[in-house]
Structure 1
Amino acid sequence: MSTDTAPTHVGGRGGEQRIGQRELLTLISALMALMALGIDLMLPAFDDIRVAFDLGEASPRTGQVITVFFLGLAVSQLVYGPLADRFGRKPILYVGIGIYLVGAVGSALAPTFELLLLSRFVWGVGAAGARVVATAIVRDRFEGGAMAKAMSQIMAVFMLVPVLAPTLGTGIIAILPWRGVFWFCVVWAIVIGLWSLRLRETLDPAHRRPLRFGPMWNGYAEVTRTPVTFGYTIATVFLQGVFTTYLASSELLISDVFGRRAQFPFIFGLVAVLFGLGALINGRIVVRLGVHRLVNRVYAILIPLVTLSVVVSVSAGGTPNFWLFMPLLGLTLASFMFLMPNLNTAALEPVGHLAGTASALSGAARMGGGAVLGTIVSAQVSDSTTPFSIGVAVLCLGSWLSVLVVRRRSPRLAVDHLTSATPTSPTGAVIG
């Protein structure tokens, strides 16, 4: 039986149920979408948020609605990881969904901008639970190239959210008050929570770790002492910084710098389509080329792209031609779909016995560092694309240099062993 249809037995109410590989990957994508919806559905509401909280026209402070969410994602993953390795994936998933609901409801009811930011932070804390569990489940079930392929399939479905969310958010605001975007996320979280009852616990009992400071510290220390894991995580921090900068600045750039406010949902969605295409293509070619070889080739394209974007922006005085600048930006961001899943895969490969802890630490570093870097860069963006372009170029260069350092310290990566692997069950048995 193929890995796309091989069923696994899943406990649930009313007896034992069966969930196939496709449903498993779709469910994990939906769990990840809890995070994406909490980000992208908000973007069309930025103008209403400025008015509701008297922030001033074209205020960049609305970007904080995104960055504090990422900070909540970052700090809480350090807690979720050890908990998921001790108590299992499902209990921690339900804790995360519960906190997610508290943050979303709090955001919907927040009377001040400060309380909105606090609720958004709590919301991010809840979303982190789903993110850690989803990533850990993938590592529980897959290895090597099969894991990279699974992550790409998940990301392809996951990227449908940024395609649809701004348009969906615009539609919600056209019918309901702008806070309706928050209530939509509440409903989505409840639906996904009920669906996840079909999911079986994937943590191998032999891999359960005691919830004591010593083992937790040792686990985190082992992850940070693993050169590939540490170095590739740093590389993804820089890439996440670019992604956070784009999310926080896209509405301002498209609406104010390029004067295309009415087209924002469609332009944002089109860029997200490139994300999805990149993820789909990556899933098809990573097994043939191998993770490390593919990463090398993508950086060889990415660095010239971001350099060209800087030249285009500076030469146009910060207001370049829309039809030149946006395709360059779209291709730059799409290339991340060939980098993020593969760098994550390579980072987790040496520490599979610490999947929850490693996923938490790498995710915390990526989200936290990316939020800080994104806040610094996006705060410089107002009526020009030049600060944005320079910031993106510097961050991409930092990511590339991080990978080069890892390669110099680990020459064995020249032999790419992450090409193909057979997916395994939580107990290590071959699926299908």
Structure 2
Amino acid sequence: MNIKKISTPLAIALLMFPQLIETMYSPALTSIKNHFSVSAENAAIGTYLAPNFDLFLYGFGTCAFGAAVGSVCTQTILRDSFEGIELSQLFSIAATSVGISPVIGMMIGSWLTSHGGYTWVFAAMIVLITLLFIWSSAQLPETKPENIKRDSLLSVANKMIRDSHIWYITLMIGLANVALFSYYSIAPFMFEQLGASVKFFGYTGFVLAIGSVLGSMINMKLIHYKLNGDLIVLIAMILMVISGIGVYLLQHTIWFFIPMALVSVAFGLTLPNLFSTALTNYRNHLGSAGALLGLSYYLIIGFGLDFAASIGNLAITLLTCGSCCLVLVCIKHFMTKLAQSRNAKIATD
């Protein structure tokens, strides 16, 4: 049976959506803070009709759950439909689109916030969700293969827990996302303290978008020339650490957003190489494995962004994430070399 492939525009739209809605409300954080009289770190989430901040929190938590499910399911659909270099290239395109989505989100969010406050932002989200639901209902194909081996979720989870590669992928994806998206939760308050407007914050997204597009384009070129994926990720993590140093040096000026472009470049280089190889050993249960992988790195992202918001220091967040990722890449490189050396010794004996 031939599996019908999802259209690239629909796949990209589904992958962009979580980041789009997350960054749409970023410019509204100060409006949320003032309306509900809460602290800056508590103003990260909310919904349109909430009469108090608790309901505001629960509502957007539900929205975030739906967006996360869409992202994980879309990744599974892509892995059902594509493999190898084709999948890597598609994830590179996806990474570019995900990198651009914060810019679109911030521009829309900035305009809506300046004209109607946070309520306009969430009204726009309702419209976007409705349009995406209609599009998916009309054109989303079934890609699940027939006659595949069906293992229980518990057995898949047990296999993944004992898989060091899965731990590596989970931590790397989680920390890379924390590094990039901590900007959208911390930067609005940094700009507010420096006297910059909400619109200026929205415009800074262009620099980050350029970095993301550049990173993904470079990644596609490097894949074409068959450069080792681990080496690409190593370069990306070095860039992230350099970015953290740059933000630290410029954090008392409005120009601290410029070094963030290197984080976007690192994001565009890293994510395609991680996602495309994450579940190569789980072809018979991509749905279950993808859901568990998504749960794992979303937990890291959630706790990581909460910690970043609590300390409110973008430079420290970037340096911590970059340093941890750099250590992980070096450990993986060392373990890979060690395994190759052992296999070579066994082959010669």
TM-score, normalized by the shorter chain, greater than 0.5: yes
> TM-score per shorter chain, which class?
0.7 to 0.9
User: Cα deviation per residue 1:376-406 (whole Å; 9 max; x = unaligned)?
Assistant: 122122xxxxx32123112211112122223
Q: Secondary structure at the match of 2:43?
A: helix
Pick aligned residue for 2:160 from 223, 232, 235: 223
Task: Say if 2:98 is the partner of 1:158.
Answer: yes
Amino acid at match of 1:37: L
Pick aligned residue for 1:406 from 319, 332, 345: 332
The alignment's TM-score, normalised by the length of structure 2, stands at 0.87
- Tell me which residue corresponds to 1:115: 55
- Tell me which residue corresponds to 2:107: 167
Structure 2 segments unaligned to the other structure (5+ residues) = 342-349
After TM superposition, give the deviation of residue 372 of structure 1 in Å. Answer: 1.0
Mapped to 1, the partners of 2:307 and 2:234 lie a distance apart of 28
Q: Secondary structure at the match of 1:206?
A: coil
- Tell me which residue corresponds to 1:198: 139
Larger mean CA deviation between 280-289 and 141-150 belongs to 280-289
Mapped to 1, the partners of 2:77 and 2:122 lie a distance apart of 28
After TM superposition, give the deviation of residue 195 of structure 1 in Å. Answer: 1.6
Given the superposition, is the C-alpha separation of residues 305 and 247 from structure 1 closer, same or farther in structure 2, using an over 3 Å criterion? Answer: closer
Larger mean CA deviation between 157-166 and 392-401 belongs to 157-166
The 5 A counterparts of 1:305-316 are 305-310=243-248, 312=249
Given the superposition, is the C-alpha separation of residues 309 and 220 from structure 1 closer, same or farther in structure 2, using an over 3 Å criterion? Answer: same
User: Cα deviation per residue 1:251-277 (whole Å; 9 max; x = unaligned)?
Assistant: 112232463544111013432332233
User: Cα deviation per residue 1:321-367 (whole Å; 9 max; x = unaligned)?
Assistant: 444x3222221232111112212222222222222222222222212
Given the superposition, is the C-alpha separation of residues 409 and 206 from structure 1 closer, same or farther in structure 2, using an over 3 Å criterion? Answer: farther
Given the superposition, is the C-alpha separation of residues 175 and 255 from structure 1 closer, same or farther in structure 2, using an over 3 Å criterion? Answer: closer
Pick aligned residue for 2:322 from 393, 396, 420: 396
After TM superposition, give the deviation of residue 122 of structure 1 in Å. Answer: 0.7
Give the alignment's Cα RMSD to 1 decimal.
Answer: 2.6
Amino acid at match of 1:122: T
- Tell me which residue corresponds to 2:272: 341
User: Cα deviation per residue 1:24-63 (whole Å; 9 max; x = unaligned)?
Assistant: 121011112221232011122222212221226xx33213
Task: Say if 2:278 is the partner of 1:370.
Answer: no
Amino acid at match of 2:263: T
After TM superposition, give the deviation of residue 153 of structure 1 in Å. Answer: 0.8
Mapped to 1, the partners of 2:123 and 2:247 lie a distance apart of 38
Mapped to 2, the partners of 1:200 and 1:125 lie a distance apart of 22
Pick aligned residue for 1:328 from 238, 259, 271: 259
Structure 1: 4+ residue segments shifted above 6 A: 412-415
Mapped to 1, the partners of 2:339 and 2:208 lie a distance apart of 32
Residues 230 and 329, structure 2, Cα contact 8 Å, conserved in 1: no
Residues 232 and 403, structure 1, Cα contact 8 Å, conserved in 2: no
Task: Say if 2:200 is the partner of 1:263.
Answer: yes
Residues 30 and 158, structure 1, Cα contact 8 Å, conserved in 2: no
Task: Say if 2:292 is the partner of 1:292.
Answer: no
The 5 A counterparts of 1:172-187 are 172-176=112-116, 178-187=118-127
- The number of residue pairs the alignment matches comes to 338
The alignment's TM-score, normalised by the length of structure 1, stands at 0.71
User: Cα deviation per residue 1:129-166 (whole Å; 9 max; x = unaligned)?
Assistant: 21111100111112222211101112223333211222
Mapped to 1, the partners of 2:167 and 2:73 lie a distance apart of 20
After TM superposition, give the deviation of residue 208 of structure 1 in Å. Answer: 6.4
Mapped to 2, the partners of 1:349 and 1:44 lie a distance apart of 39
- Tell me which residue corresponds to 2:37: 54
Mapped to 2, the partners of 1:412 and 1:376 lie a distance apart of 35
The 5 A counterparts of 1:340-359 are 340-359=271-290
Residues 229 and 350, structure 1, Cα contact 8 Å, conserved in 2: no
Residues 232 and 402, structure 1, Cα contact 8 Å, conserved in 2: no
User: Cα deviation per residue 1:102-142 (whole Å; 9 max; x = unaligned)?
Assistant: xxxxx211111111110111111111221111100111112
Residues 292 and 413, structure 1, Cα contact 8 Å, conserved in 2: no
- Tell me which residue corresponds to 1:148: 88
Mapped to 1, the partners of 2:162 and 2:333 lie a distance apart of 15
Mapped to 1, the partners of 2:158 and 2:340 lie a distance apart of 26
Given the superposition, is the C-alpha separation of residues 262 and 308 from structure 1 closer, same or farther in structure 2, using an over 3 Å criterion? Answer: closer
